Structures are given as structure tokens and as C-alpha cells.
Amino acid sequence: MNFKKQSAGLISPGTGTLALLLPYIPAVIWASIILVLTLLPPQALPKVPDWSLISINSLAHLFVFLIWSFLILFGYYRSKSNLVTRNINSIIITLLLAVSYGALIELLQGLMRLGRQPDIADIYFNTIGAVLGIIFFYLVKKYFKI
């Protein structure tokens, strides 16, 4: 499949938009999973016990956003794109995406009336998870030389 640049917009695989987006596919898939799970009616979710210090729900928010921010940064790192520098900008963009996506999910939970209630604490735990995911990414990158 060798396409040369033409006026019709066909571009060579490896240099075009598709090549820039491929590294982000895991993050997009994970974001879709987050959206589906967080918008399910509560009756569709398994019952979990509440701990006195922190709830399983809060830990789940932290965990899924930790993974998502890791996948976003991994996509940045793999993209080899000049569009996003691999320094503080990628960290800021990842945090902004996580906070915005978490807030959007909470807004949708309130608007969709599926039995879910928006909760500001979820946004806090999403943000904490994103920060931990960023730290985890840089630790993995450092120790495994990815």
C-alpha cells in the first residue's frame, strides 16, 4: 500500500494522519471503556463494600484514570510527532484531558438520568489517578528504557 501524495488527499501510511493516531488507539479504547462503565446504571454494577477510609468506587476512579493517563503519555512517546513535545506540555495536556473527561462524565451522569449521581469527589480521584499515571509512566520509562 504505497500511496503517493495526491490532490485527492491520499497519503503514504506511516506519514499521514493515521500514523499519528495509531499510538493513541489504546488510550481511545480505554477512554471508551471508562465512559461505558461510568454511565451504566448502578443496578448493572456489582455491589462492593464501602471501606471506612476510602470507597472501592473512589479507588476504581483512581485506577482507571491512572491507566488512561499512562496510555495517553505512552501514545505521545510513541507518536514521534512534532505536534506535541515530550516534556511538560505532554504532562499538562494529559492532566487537562483527564480533568476535562472526568468532569464531562460527571456532567453526563447528572444529565442522562440513568440512576447515577454526579460527584465532585470522583473528579478529585480521577485527577489523583491521572497524576499517579503520569508518575508511573515516567518511572516505567526510566527503569525499562522504553
CA 36 to chain centre: 13
Q: So what's the pLDDT on residue 13?
A: 47
Residue 9 falls in which region: left (phi positive, over 0), alpha (psi -120 to 50) or beta: left
User: Rounded CA gap, 22 and 18, in Å?
Assistant: 6
So where are the chain's domains? 61-146
Give 134's DSSP letter. Answer: H
pLDDT at 64: 97
Q: What is the pLDDT along the chain (146 residues), one digit of tens a residue?
A: 444 444 444 334 456 777 778 999 999 999 999 999 888 887 666 676 666 556 788 899 999 999 999 999 999 888 865 555 557 788 999 999 999 999 999 999 999 887 888 899 999 999 999 999 999 999 998 898 77
pLDDT at 108: 94
